[in-house]
Amino acid sequence: MFWRHALAAHALAATAAALAFTTAIPAAEARTVTVATVYGARDVSTQAMEKWGELLAKKTDGRLTINIIPGGTLGGDRELLQQLSSGEIDVDLSSPVVMQYVAPQYQCLEAEYIYENENQGFKVWRGEIGKEASAAMQKQYGIEIAAVGRRGGRVVTANKKIIEPQDMTGLKFRVTNDLRAQVFAAYGAQPAPLPLSELYGALRQGVFDGEENPLSTIYSLRFHEVQPFISLTYHVWTYNLVLVNSAFYDGLGDDRKAFDETLSQALDWLYDAVAKDDARIIAEIKKSGKTEIVEPDVAAFRAKARPVLKAYADKNCKPGLIDQVDQISSAN
């Protein structure tokens, strides 16, 4: 709660400058767009931002270029949101996990087994629910969702083979929000938060027994080097949220069309790249012989998670949100 007040203060302090900013940059003036992310430089989502930079520079004849700052160099999710709200950065490549900070009534959209499959989640984030979440952020913090891209499923790594929920009993797991902590506690784990940038060292030193992330994050940040097991739980289908500072976005003028079109093209590339990258990562990890890929009992994990999700949503999320999601078709 304290942090949300701090972010609100950042947003208010930037309001006057933001109003001027929206008209201060004509389309013809060259500008470097600062894109920050907690994802590593090798991450396929970061590579998509590089692709976007190439497309955008070409489309605008060099008026807009992109500077990518990956790997949490400028801070974790909270710090990047603060910098985005205040205009210190222009774009934050993030995920729905940040809803807990800027639109907590929608934090359940990053919940274990809320979606039947990845396609259903895309329909949620690219539809009316996603627009509502974006509007809530924009109103309070001057941040909005410019686009939604593929990220993939979150899986579990651990120093023990995880097949069923009870296999997590007593293990200390790094998790990213309160709801996930409750779900992992229901599995028998001991959940605790930790900045992503500190996680490799904590796993290597045995301070944490396990964590959960998309395969691309696990591989790019080398968590598989210090975790002997990866369980393909796919407990969360997560997405790339391309968050923008609203004042910056409104100030793009005629170049906004090029900004949006090239971003869409880069995310189209990412959609195919994620599937190929996940397959490549699994193949390379198997080939190394150092980390075992485990096929868990997904139905058992889902059965434990859904009651926790519903109870949490009733108290902390937008009324009826889970029912709204359930009514959205998971078919292609």
pLDDT tens column, 36-86: 999 999 899 999 999 999 999 999 999 999 999 999 999 999 999 999 999
Pair 209, 173: CB distance under 8 Å: yes
Write down the pLDDT at residue 197.
Answer: 87
Q: What is the DSSP letter of 161?
A: -
What are the two backbone dihedrals, phi and then psi, of residue 225, each rounded to the nearest 5 degrees? Answer: -70, -25
Helix 298-316 and helix 178-187, axial crossing angle in degrees, nearest 10: 140
- Determine whether 309 is exposed, middle or buried from the number of CB atoms within 10 Å of its CB (0-12, 13-18, 19+): buried
- Is the pLDDT confidence value at 280 over 80? yes
d(CA 184, CA 173): 8
CATH number assigned to the domain covering 2-326: 3.40.190.170
* pTM assigned to the model: 0.82
Tell me the per-residue pLDDT of 72-124, one tens digit each, with 9 for 90 and over: 999 999 999 999 999 999 999 999 999 999 999 999 999 999 999 999 999 99
**What is the rounded average pLDDT of the residues 186-213?**
97
Q: Where are the beta strands (DSSP E) in the chain?
A: 31-37, 64-69, 91-94, 143-158, 172-174, 190-192, 210-214, 229-245, 292-294
Domain boundaries of the chain, sorted by first residue: 2-326
